Each structure stands twice: as C-alpha cells, then as structure tokens.
Structure 1
Amino acid sequence: MYESQYIDPALWEACKAGDKGAYADIYKLYYPRLYNYGCKLTENVVLIEDSIQEIFVLFWMNRERMAAVREFRSYLFVSFRHCLLRLLSQRKQEDLLNEEQYPFALEISTEQQQLAREEQHEQLQALKNAMERLTPRQREAIFFRFYENMEYEEIAGILQISVKATYKLMARAIDVLRDAYHAMPLVPAVMTLATLAVALGSLQLSIAILGTPPVPNI
C-alpha cells in the first residue's frame, strides 16, 4: 500500500541523534499511514491530528531509548491507537480502551468500486456486507495484516492479545469473507483474482480469500 514500509537505518540513527530534519522526514512518512488508520476509528479529524501530534512529541522525547526501527513502527501504532481511543472515550464519556465497543470502518471504498465493471456490483455489495459483519477487532486485524503488511506478532502487540488469539481472529475474519465470495453467483467468470484485488484494494487479502490462511506454528 505504501512505497516504503520501513525507515532507512541512516535516517533513523540521525533522528535518534537529534537531527530535526530526519525527524521531519519520519513524520512525513508515517503521518498519512496513521491518519488513514485513524479515519477508520473516527470521523473526527481534529482528534486524529491531535493524537498524531501528541505521540510524535512523545516519540521525540523518548527517541534515544528505542533500539531499532522495527520497534518504532509497533510503538507508533500502539501509542496512536491508545491516545485516540482515550480522547474518544473522554468525548463520549465511555470506556473504549478495555471493551470492544469502538468502531472500525474497513470497507470497500467508493473509488475501488468505481474501478470494477458494472456486472461486478452485486458481488462487490456481497463483499461489503461481509466486511460489515466482521467485528471491529477483526477488521482492525485485517487492516494491519493486509494493508499495513504487519506480522502477527506486531498485530498482537497493538491489539494487546496473544499471537495465537491473533491467528484465530484473522482466520475467522477470512472465513467470513471467503464464505461470502464463494456464495457469489458467476464467481469464476466475473470475480477473478485481479478484479477482486482491485475491489478490495489489497492483493494479499484477495489471495487469502481465494486460498488458505496461514496456520500458526505455535
């Protein structure tokens, strides 16, 4: 989904050493990713932007303590998620951090639907309905795995569940989407891998729906 999933090691070391230009480059790299993720949790762009600003200030203050780039990505999403849900909880006067009451809008976008041919609309609607049947946590796990290309260990850390539970969460979500796919009429002639990938905006998710999800070795 993004051109670069990781920060250049030299840029990372420069930032840790106090280079504000390197810090700005990292901010520019991750801002759209965090903003995109935040928009799936809320439509309140002010809270999204406030959360991004807050966690990047904390990151700058604590940058020297971080040992590696990979640690940073997980840290950033964990911090942003916690901060945004906290602000949403304060606004709604209810606890969204410890209960699965938060929204997560992972769906087939209007732009992606327009890319598909008219005869695919029925199939796309079936996929959209299936996506809406997923729990917020299932949609969130799907987002991190197939749109952010995160490993199961990273997803487990962000969602604060075990790796085994993450595999189960993902497998159940894929089962729902796969059942919806196989229930579609004229699937072989209409919804090929390529068109499914266009509809979902993720080739990896399309392959997972058509194939077999990975089995955890734990």
Structure 2
Amino acid sequence: MGVTLPDETSVWKQFKQGDSGAYEAIYQCYYDQLYNYGRKFTADCCLVEDCIQQLFVNLWKNKNRLTTPPSVKNYLYKSFRTTLFKQLRQTNRSVHNQYEALPFTVSLSAETQRIQSEQQAELHAWLQKAIKDLSAHQREAIFLKFYDQLSYQEISEVMQIEMRSAYDLVHKGLARLRKRHTLEPLPLISWMLLLIAVLSV
C-alpha cells in the first residue's frame, strides 16, 4: 500500500538546500510507488524507469527554484504522470491531448491468486473481470484513492481534473462494481480491502 515519507516537508526543504541524503530518502520512499503506478499505464518497464529517473534528475537540477508543495507525494505523482504521458504520446500518435485517457490496467498478484477459500477465489475472479469494464479514468481514480490513499483533492491535481470529477469517478466506479456484483453481499469495508488486494500490482 502507498506510504508517505515521515516529515516529508522537512525532508523536502533539506533536499532543496542540497542535502543528498534527503534527496535519496525521497527517492527511496516513492520510487516503488511511482513504478507501480506507471506500470498501470504501460507494460514497458524501461520506459517507466526512465521517466522516474528523468523526474528525479530534473528535481535535483531545479531544486533551487522549487517551491515546497503541500504534499510531496502528490507533487511527485502529478509530475511523474505528466512526464510519463508525454513519453507515451510520443510513441502513440493516436493519443492527441493530455485529457484523453490512456489505458490503465490492474491484475491480481501471484499472492492474491493463492486464495484458499473457493468463495474468495470466485469473488476475486469476478472482481478482476468486472474492474476491466470500468473506464480507464475510473480505474486510475480508484487506484489512487484506495491503494495510494490520496484525497479527492490530490487525485484531481494528479489527474488534472476537477475535484468533483475525481469524486464522481471513484463513486460511480464503485457503484458500477457493486451493482454488477451477484455474489453474497459484502460490507463496504470488505470492498475496500478487496480492491486494495486487486490493485496491489
């Protein structure tokens, strides 16, 4: 699950002052999360890694001109998404603008697939299939909300949409999933835990 660097504002200020240790701490904390997020858009591991490296190289080069964002994590996600989309559009001429949805895919991890309960296995299989029927933007918003634990305001900033739109994407996506669900009813908290498991890779 997504985590946030403890006292990230203080660490960010140290990084801006040229502290390589603070810079490394930011990199170590968020690299895996950014990589996991990027892989939802493309299977090209090298491209995702290159975009993360490009992001952090630019951060270091421009550290003296950077402001201190309210959320370092949110700032990194937004910057990384912009960098990745730019690279993806250079190789995909059918995508013309920053607001057009790129594919956003999720799949079950090997660990999640080792379900002992037949009922749980059936539910996971159903959810994996059902979530593919959501729009790319709905899948991305749900991922950011429940896996990376971003607020609706942060999701709107990362995806460059209105906050109301971020809220609608998440809730309409969940409503669609629950409406299609024909198995035994689940409480909301079970849905949240199940979604986290499915979105983990």
> Taking structure 2 as the reference length, what is the TM-score of the superposition?
0.85
| 8 Å contact kept, 2:146–2:195 | no
Counterpart in the other structure of 1:213: none
CA-based RMSD of the aligned residues comes to 2.6
Flag structure 2 segments of 5+ consecutive residues without an equivalent. Answer: none
- Equivalents in 1 of 2:188, 2:163: separation in Å? 29
Question: How many residues are matched?
Answer: 198
Show structure 1 runs of 5+ residues with no match.
206-218
2:4 and 2:73 in contact (8 A); partners too: no
The Cα of 1:107 is off from its aligned counterpart by 3.5
Give the aligned partner of residue 200 of structure 1: 195
Deviations 1:69-92 (A, max 9, x none): 534322211121111121111122
Tell whether the 8 Å contact from 2:12 to 2:72 is kept in structure 1 after alignment. no
Task: Report if the CA contact (8 A) 1:106-1:140 is conserved.
Answer: no
Distance in 1 (CA, whole Å) between partners of 2:119 and 2:95 is 44
What letter matches 1:62 in structure 2?
N
Conserved? CA contact 1:41–1:105, under 8 Å: yes
Kept in 1, the 8 Å contact 2:5–2:26? The answer is: no
Q: State the match for 2:20 in structure 1.
A: 20
Paired letter, 2:73: R
Looking at structure 1, the residues matched to 99 and 14 of structure 2 have their Cα atoms a distance apart, in angstroms, of: 39
Code of the residue aligned with 1:42 in structure 2: it is T
Match of 1:162? 162
Alpha-carbon offset, residue 19 of structure 1: 0.8
Q: How far apart are 1:12 and its partner, in Å?
A: 2.2
| Letter matched to residue 85 of structure 1 | F
Q: Specify the code of the residue in structure 2 equivalent to 1:170.
A: V
* Larger RCO (CA within 8 A; separation ≥ 6): 2
SS across alignment from 2:77: helix
Structure 2: distance between partners of 1:10 and 1:78: 20
Matched position secondary structure for 1:133 = coil
> Which whole-Å CA distance do the structure 2 matches of 1:197 and 1:164 have between them?
21
